[in-house]
Amino acid sequence: MIARIRELIGAVSFHRGLALGALVGSAIAGSTVWARVRDARRPAEPPGAEHEPAAAQPRDTAMPPSPSGTATTAD
């Protein structure tokens, strides 16, 4: 009787792990498919954009480091 209970518990544990693995795998696959669909819908960049760094990259609005080397905050 004890051996049968151990088999059932082991089978339940195996099936729980199998189901969890299937869910995680499908989430990863779905994420990959969604990323490909999103990239396919994104408009292509105009030709020559890689030669115009000001147009390709947003302006950096961060404050430059202070001359003393210590961090400061702007209020």
Output the pLDDT for position 10. 76
Tens of pLDDT along 2-60? 787 777 777 788 888 899 999 999 999 999 999 999 988 888 776 665 655 555 555 65
Predicted model pTM: 0.44
Output the pLDDT for position 53. 56
pLDDT of 75 above 70: no
Distance separating alpha carbons of residues 41 and 33, to the nearest angstrom: 13
Distance separating alpha carbons of residues 55 and 44, to the nearest angstrom: 15
